[in-house]
Chains A and B, each alone.
Chain A
Amino acid sequence: MRDHIRQKIYHVEALTPKQATADIAGDLEKFAEKYRTLHAAGCTICITDNPMGLLSFQGTEVIEHLGLPVDPQRLCLHLNTFHSKRDFDAILEACIGLGIEWLLLISGDGSVRLPRLSGRELGCDVPAVTSVELLKYVHREYPGRFRTGVAYNPYEPQEHELEKMRRKIGAGAEFAITQPILEKHPALDHFLEIFDLPVIVEAWMMKKLHLLSECVGYEIPEGTVHDPLESLAKLIATYPACGFYLSFLGMKTQLPEIGGLWQ
């Protein structure tokens, strides 16, 4: 991941179609177009895993179905705890088949419709599986096969969050991706002082902020004005040693602009 940062390769989020869609074919086509555009632009494509607990099609399945190109160094699959063991293993096997190496292992968002992995299934004695158990499982069952990252949340109480991060690193985390931030964040500054870990800062590329409030669980003051490109430029200047993860990137209006921001 340090190479990604050195080469100034953006990580760009790509959401697979939701299962509830009325137009699977249309949504798959849109996903394929976005994927190919990002691939051609040299970005690392980050494929989400049922974000917000909403049932979506699995990334590996979609890539296989659409015959999309896989660059092992520029594809990162998110994988969370809300899977059956059978599906979880199948996804990992599919990753191996497709040559996917980078995984972002996260606790994730559940819903009544999603099963949750149990500690027993992953061979550990814990009341609830978190990204730490996913890391241990992946590195135990597939040694040397995957490069794994985790999430870092600057909005959580930091004492607990930093302790969790130590456990994640101990379990094999090689990099961290932050929750979206809009500007310099003191918790992240502290994090960077403590850990010698490649950090990818998530930038919120949507003008509207209400969804960000929902995602990170803290109230963003009403009336906060957000210019995504300006905010990204400031983050790049503030965190020169970090990489950048772009959520909700506008493919027509923003993608052509971001290259010039990170020189």
Chain B
Amino acid sequence: MNIVVLIKQVPGTSEVSIDPETKRLVREGVSAVLNPFDLYALEEGVRIRERSGGRVTAVTMGPPQAEAALREALSCGADEAILLSDRAFAGSDTWATSYALACAVKKLGAVDLVFCGKQAVDGDTAQVGPGVAAHLDWPQATYVSHCALAAEGRMQVNRMHEDGYDVVDISLPAVVTVVKDINQPRVPTLKSCLASRQADIPVWSAADVAADAALLGLKGSPTRVVKIEPPPPRGNATVVVSGNPRDCARTLIHELRKKSLV
């Protein structure tokens, strides 16, 4: 099973600001970390590899410093890592980013499964995973909380939604975006951290992945952010759960989980 995990380096703080001119996140001077949801995607990939064999390749697109996120991925169990870095990628929106990442997946070849976190915590769009699936013309399952390899070339996943989850059977290759319920990411060891810092990380340009320059960067980005403003504050609400204690507890836990409070 050859698995690609798409990861992203994001600002390490929730106090990010937005450039009023470009309407883009200001990343300069802000510490960077691996997008928390991507750790779950990575863990799932590594667990499948441990059960079924194969390789896990972490891929990210970003400036040279995004290499740090790839080294973290290696320390968490990825076998190899690839950085897509090129001025041609600069300014890409989620669609152009998806295209570039899909080109990298194609270049890798013989990929069975692409995992992503459900969204990145900076942009919060949740669009890149589905975008990659669209560019590859592969099936996709989003917000997945459980996956199990089924018959040859198929996988069964639980796809979370507000009222529970759907059990979905998908054919491989596929793109799967995961939620935090799917697993508990492992903690890197000293040995794996030291090894990750020594690893060679190839840098691929737009030309390396045979990407059409017209579909990258600002040129390839149909998104236009016309205005950004904070959402209106949410009012407090009291919810009364009634019924037998067991059902009440189940409902309460479900509601708290939906809000990521437990």
Contacts and interface: CB of A to CB of B under 8 A. Distances in A.
B188 A19 contact: yes
A131 interface: no
Secondary structure at chain A's binding surface: helix, strand, loop or mixed? loop
A65 B190 contact: yes
B37 to A, nearest CB: 11
A61 B191 contact: yes
Contacts of B194: 24, 65
B191 A87 contact: no
A115 B184 contact: yes
Given A24-B197, A112-B36, A61 B187 contact: no
B62 interface: no
B68 to A, nearest CB: 9
Contacts of B190: 24, 57-58, 61-62, 65
Contacts, number: 34
Interface residues of B, number: 13
Contact of A87 (B36, B187, B193): B187
Contacts of A62: 190
Contacts of B193: 19, 24, 57
A56 to B, nearest CB: 10
Contacts of A24: 190, 193-194, 197
B187 A113 contact: yes
A49 to B, nearest CB: 11
A205 to B, nearest CB: 27
Interface residues of A, number: 15
Contacts of A58: 189-190
Given A24-B194, A112-B36, A55 B189 contact: no
A128 to B, nearest CB: 12
B190 to A, nearest CB: 4
A24 B68 CA distance: 14
B91 interface: no
A5 interface: no
B174 to A, nearest CB: 28
Nearest to A17: B190
Contacts of A113: 39, 185, 187
Nearest to A90: B189
B184 A84 contact: yes
B24 interface: no
Interface string A31-68: 00000000000000000000000010110011001000
A115 B36 contact: no
B78 to A, nearest CB: 16
Contact of B186 (A19, A57, A84): A84
Interface string B195-239: 001000000000000000000000000000000000000000000
A114 B191 CA distance: 18
A13 B89 CA distance: 48
Nearest to A20: B33
A3 to B, nearest CB: 32
A226 B184 CA distance: 42
Contacts of B191: 61, 65
A24 B184 CA distance: 25
Nearest to B75: A19
A87 B185 CA distance: 12
B187 A114 contact: yes
Which of B188, B190, B194 counts the most A-chain CB atoms under 10 A from its CB? B190
Contacts of B188: 19
B76 to A, nearest CB: 11
Contacts of A84: 184, 186-187
Interface in A1-41: 19, 24
A24 B185 CA distance: 22
Nearest to B188: A19
Nearest to B36: A112
Interface in A137-165: none
B88 to A, nearest CB: 29
A57 B194 CA distance: 11
Interface of B: 36, 39, 184-191, 193-194, 197
Given A19-B187, A84-B186, 19 more contacts: A19-B188, A19-B193, A24-B194, A57-B189, A57-B193, A58-B190, A61-B189, A61-B191, A65-B191, A65-B194, A83-B187, A84-B184, A87-B186, A87-B187, A112-B36, A113-B39, A114-B187, A115-B186, A115-B187
12 contacts: A19-B187, A19-B193, A24-B190, A24-B193, A57-B190, A58-B189, A61-B189, A62-B190, A84-B187, A87-B186, A114-B187, A115-B187
Smallest CB-CB A-B distances: 4 pairs: A115-B184, A61-B190, A57-B190, A65-B190
